[in-house]
Structure 1
């Protein structure tokens, strides 16, 4: 494969991996891609679904957060396997192994997912700007176009610096929610009970809608494309032994990072349950409403400010990874290489239009409903990323010696079946009223 055909060619094999070094030093060289992937599992879309679920149903949907996170760990390990074992990102592998009509269809669906994800980033960042600085939501939506210049500035300093920036913001988010949980003082026994799945989640349409939103917000389709590409930023030797070690370390990296993502998602839902549901405020499904109520209900004046800071950090982090995913999808499926600034402007413009329309027509209260809807759209698109991933990583012709073991493929197919079944049930329920 020529350099120009490499996934993210400017960053391919740009992060050196020390030779004959100890485990921890080598592990440190592989830390980074997993944290970029974890960003997508705690973006503003997660906030909307987790707050809605926690305030309405208490700790019940914690089991959905946990199951979604475990699904994500399995699927992201397959994405890393594809990138390292086949040397292709998911978009490239689809283009190389499907017919042109199928390839175009998968590309279109992937673009829909990225637009839905970008819509969540736009609204989340705009809401955070309003909460912190009083900026009207409509102006904040338009202002998010400036994120393009943030991406360009970060990429000038190299991929490792970009990973450090992401990691710093993740730490900020984790610290913020650590404080929030201390102030909320939740019922930890009840929270632990919420980790056990209950049949009512599937049988109750209201719970199922939020549950699928959580699934869509947690297992992000664009992350599968992203991860299969950015694991190739490490400069390791091409031998089978070295690649197997790279796969092991990349899987550890993503698993640990997704553990942090689970903590933050669970913290948001637990905070909503402890602050709102327990007090009888089961109607809180709006990020702004949650921000306004946190300080008086927790009795801590700083609670709202800390909440808004974490939201802003989340939106900015998601902006970076969403841009990379969009670049990977377009280059991989279509073999078209646009300047990053142009690609970002196009994606952001498409996301801004529905946000401006909704905010302009229904007022600022419609923003959270649009956030939740964007996550359901992501979940509906998810099978069209998961199924090709499982098919490709289980294909020895594509993967060679790195073909996924049968038990892993069986587990991945079970996950895919659950995702398809839940999405089908949601569509049937929507059509049937």
Structure 2
């Protein structure tokens, strides 16, 4: 397997909009600064290497040219765009007052824990899962129950086992599409989560930040809160344009909370601690939702090509397995068969900087971000292939 020499006749040519080389090494990017001065390709933290839609850049330039950056509030037009978007894409009717604006999604996870759970009440979340899920309970000093994420017909799904819940668990942190794993939950699977939450009397904080990044034609994002009225009343839905349009550094996220009591407690936990969204972030979010769809369509096509490349390449390598990715731009690679103490360190030494599976709850895995230039991806896969093939040859020589 030689990923760097793929047959161009078998694959469409990458979109030049996303295939351009952009040097991020001196752009205050934590992704690229981590390995500055080292020959390591950064394929870890979940931001993409793609320039944002021109409409976002133009809107920001217009705001900057105005020259004043005082206090601001959420633009009415942005709220209207979100309400319209939820109805158009998901047939989910939301009211404007349900939206609570946040300067990031991670603070929303932490606010959910602190506003829902009393001092002795616990949090449940999938495992493995995006690290802030786990740390939010620890930071708030709340007990944490882990619901194992298991393979079910090549798809990663959270187990719904009440025996895994610690006593007096109050909040379920849910993630759809799943990070890591890339599963996009079907309606019957979401119904099962909703029934589980109802039976156990759990509030559900649903992280849906990757909802726009669906990579399989038969996948459809269904907001948890849109399932039925009971699900809506026990829900906190977190969304953002940040992953979709690569504007995470600007910081504009939203919590959608239909239940007025939950919303009031959430806002109370936020008061005086979590700052308001800055005016440039509002500007970028509005431009993204208003004008970004053509760019998003092209990005999705590009990501689908990269996904196909990753799946084919990884599953052709010794020791490694990658199950189909339905959503996100993150590949959750099973390296448990790799005969090394740390797959993360092994690949880092080979020149590929991945996210360590230990941060998510499974040290035998690594996570690869494929939202990058196609050639960068091929280079990274080539380094990985060389490393595992060399290791395999060394292991065979010992026998």
Q: Please say whether Structure 1 and Structure 2 have the same fold, judged by a TM-score greater than 0.5.
A: no
Looking at secondary structure, tell me which structure has more helix per residue. Answer: 1
Looking at secondary structure, tell me which structure has more strand per residue. Answer: 2
Higher relative contact order (CA 8 A, sep 6+): 1
Q: TM-score, normalised by structure 1?
A: 0.27
